[in-house]
């Protein structure tokens, strides 16, 4: 398998479903997973959650660069933990496998007093899969996120919509962004390996498409 498929999973906001989407993309690509910054839940990290949702034998969980104790913006949680975060701290894991990198919060979440998550994405040089959802204001947040990525010259692989579809939101987002929809994740009351595998099968062709 070629290791050309490496993506940064970001969202239009926090609690938007990045971890579930990361698990689905990992399963679809049999990719490794890396969460550079875990902010909060150090005993139940996103790496642990993703590992518990994968069925394939290939994916490797790479250790976080920072595990912060408080569920806050990284700059605030790092200050509480007396930790200093710098862009130079982050190096893509040494792997020949496909790779999924999950961000912390949205694009404009601060890492320190100088840099945002979008600066980390640019440093790592990875294309973005943007996770969107449907709520009042989500069109605005999605279009602003796409505009921010493009203004930083960061390539975007496409959008994955999380939760129930909305017939008036998705078409207008597609029209204004011109981006492909890689997949749609429905509202699920329970997530397990089988559910993740089903969605992985659905989106795999779109991920491998050029």
4, 35, 96, 157: the catalytic one is 35
* Beta bridge partners of residue 131, listed in sequence order: 11, 160
Sign of CA pseudo-dihedral 106, 149, 62, 84: negative
Tokens 């398998």 belong to 1
Cβ-count burial 31-52 (b if 16+ within 10 Å, e if not): bbbbbbbbbbeeeebbbebbee
- 35 labelled catalytic: yes
Write out the catalytic residue numbers.
35
């Amino acid at each position: 398998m070629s290791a050309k498929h490496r993506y940064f999973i970001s969202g239009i906001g926090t609690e938007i479903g990045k971890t579930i989407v990361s698990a689905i993309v990992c399963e679809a690509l049999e990719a490794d997973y890396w969460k550079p910054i875990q902010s909060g839940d150090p005993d139940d990290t996103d790496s642990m959650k993703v590992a518990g949702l994968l069925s394939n034998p290939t994916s490797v969980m790479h250790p976080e660069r920072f595990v912060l104790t408080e569920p806050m913006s990284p700059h605030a949680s790092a200050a509480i933990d007396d930790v200093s975060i710098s862009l130079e701290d982050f190096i893509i894991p040494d792997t020949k496998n496909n790779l999924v990198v999950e961000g912390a919060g949205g694009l404009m979440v601060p890492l320190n007093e100088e840099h945002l998550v979008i600066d980390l994405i640019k440093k790592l040089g990875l294309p973005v899969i943007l996770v969107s959802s449907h709520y009042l204001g989500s069109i605005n947040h999605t279009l602003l996120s796409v505009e921010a990525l493009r203004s930083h010259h960061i390539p975007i692989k496409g959008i994955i919509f999380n939760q129930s579809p909305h017939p008036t939101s998705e078409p207008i987002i597609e029209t204004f962004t011109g981006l492909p929809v890689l997949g749609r994740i429905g509202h699920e009351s329970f997530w397990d390996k089988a559910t993740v595998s089903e969605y992985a099968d659905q989106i795999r062709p779109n991920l491998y498409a050029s």
